[in-house]
Amino acid sequence: MVIATKPINTLTKLNGIDFLGIEESSFWNNVDTPEIRIHKIHVYPAKFPSLIAKKAFEYAESKHLRIETVADIFCGCGTVAVEAKRKGLDFWGCDINPVAVLISEVKSHPYDVVTVKAIFDNIVNGFNTGEIKTEYAVANPRIQYWFIEDQYNDLHKLKTAILANTENNAYRKLFLCIFSSILKSTSRWLTKSIKPQIDSKKKPQDVGNLFIKKVEIVIKSIEEAAYNDETRISIEHNDILRVERKDYADMIVTSPPYVTSYEYADLHQLSALWLDYAEDYTELRTDSIGSSYGMEEKEKPENLTPTATKIVEYFDWNKAQTRSIARYYSDMRKFTDKAFEILKNRGLVVFVIGDTEIGGHHIENAKCLCECMIKSGFGLKEIHKRAVQNKLLPSHRDENGRFSSDKSQRSIYSQEYIIIGRKA
């Protein structure tokens, strides 16, 4: 367990709970079976582990709760949607990121493999015989920044072939998702980087060969998932703070973004630009949880919990990062209110969140979330801790607070909390 060297004075108990003293739970750590391949068809930062969704359903069953409809208010790449589908549960989810919505829709849809193969053959033929209709010189400047001309030309031919050989339906989304999944490998983006940066030594992979390999993997993933089409899956591209849905779900399983972690819009910019979600990917930062974009310097969020107030007051308000922190905790209270609205009476919520670190300071996100839940009307049932495994982000920082792959440095993000609440 790591406690920051410069703690903010928030390390007090909430309802008698010492958050730092909570022991790791074997139930929330134990992996019974490996993830099925459908979860891995598209890389996604800080992907929600399927283990947690499975364990959440097991927990509900152990408490003899009747669960028919599950929701995820930050559905990301659709892990909970997939596990709900496999469990035979109806699902509703939303995410503000259009790339995330595309991935989650594709991963949770029951595709016919014969149809996929037939469309695939037509796309490959169209790619091999296609011509370039948009020259590299007039492409989006940001796309030019990331892609050399040969890769751009092949990607353009491939996208054209996909659009020409699919209707505007789930199968088009499938192949656009596969297209999206090869963009980083065919670009100059530094592999496994935690932030967008050029790798001047990288040799981008061949577009056609990589696409074929990815489709073959996806076909095997679809066959392995073997979905039935009896459950209802609905995924909405929306900001949870603007959703109007009341007394809908029996259970919410979700993980909110971490405070000042990273901009998802930046990490998904290649897909956002190629799939025409935005001409300028920075537009997608607006309204994301905790974003300070468009926030006035004098605009101080209200309704912060006691712990959140102490955290915000510790930092310099004149800095954009501090305003982002304040907005994050203000938004946290709003999304716990929304979760309360969405749940049916006696419904269950399972939040997954980790404490973070800013400038060497331990930031108690989990305790802030619990305070917000109580204010929203939830009864806290249980709080557990689990080890974080297989994260894309480095789990260590150097002496200056920067991410590091050196395991001899300070460990961070090594644990996260499972917070279970009940709508009274």
Q: Pairing state of beta strands 343-353 and 415-423?
A: antiparallel
pLDDT score of 82 = 97
Show me where the domains of the chain are located: 19-98+232-423, 113-225
**Interval 62-96: pLDDT, tens:** 999 999 999 999 999 999 999 999 999 999 999 99
Residue with tokens 């983006």: 189
By mean pLDDT, which of 79-88, 140-149, 392-401 is the weakest?
A: 392-401
By mean pLDDT, which of 280-294, 300-314, 316-330, 351-365 is the weakest?
A: 280-294
Residue 3 has pLDDT above 70, yes or no: no
Count CB-CB contacts under 10 A for residue 337: 17
Q: Pairing state of beta strands 361-363 and 69-72?
A: unpaired
**Interval 14-71: pLDDT, tens:** 878 888 889 999 999 877 788 999 999 999 988 889 999 999 999 999 999 999 999 9
Decide: 54 and 74 in contact? Cβ < 8 Å: no
Give the DSSP per-residue string, 342-369.
Answer: HEEEEEEEEEEE--EEETTEEE-HHHHH
pLDDT score of 11 = 57
pLDDT score of 2 = 37
Q: Report which of 328, 340, 339 is spatially closest to residue 304, judged by C-alpha positions.
A: 328
By mean pLDDT, which of 39-53, 112-126, 146-160, 312-326 is the weakest?
A: 312-326
Q: In the beta sheet, which residues pair with residue 91?
A: 70, 233
Averaged pLDDT of the chain: 88
By mean pLDDT, which of 89-103, 354-368, 379-393 is the weakest?
A: 379-393
424 vs 247: CA distance, rounded Å: 12
132 vs 158: CA distance, rounded Å: 10
Measured over the CA atoms of residue 311, residue 317, residue 319 and residue 320, the dihedral's sign is positive
Decide: 362 and 355 in contact? Cβ < 8 Å: yes
What's the full length of the chain, in residues? 424
Residue 299 has pLDDT above 80, yes or no: no
pLDDT score of 191 = 84
pLDDT score of 238 = 95
**Interval 213-251: pLDDT, tens:** 999 999 999 999 999 888 999 999 999 999 999 999 999
Q: Which of 1-10, 184-193, 208-217, 322-331 has the highest mean pLDDT?
A: 208-217
Please give the helix or strand (H or E) that residue 101 lies within, else none.
Answer: helix 98-107
195 vs 97: CA distance, rounded Å: 17
Give the strand order in the sheet containing 69-72.
233-237, 90-95, 69-72, 249-254, 343-353, 415-423, 378-387
List of residues 6+ apart from 135 with CB closer than 8 A: none
Task: Please tell me the class of the 19-98+232-423 domain.
Answer: alpha beta
> Which band of pLDDT confidence, cut at 50, 70 and 90, is reported for residue 400?
very low
305 vs 367: CA distance, rounded Å: 10
**Interval 210-221: pLDDT, tens:** 999 999 999 999
Decide: 76 and 95 in contact? Cβ < 8 Å: yes
39 vs 51: CA distance, rounded Å: 11
77 vs 35: CA distance, rounded Å: 14
Neighbour-count burial of 419, counting CB atoms closer than 10 A to its CB (0-12 exposed, 13-18 middle, 19+ buried): buried
Count CB-CB contacts under 10 A for residue 212: 15
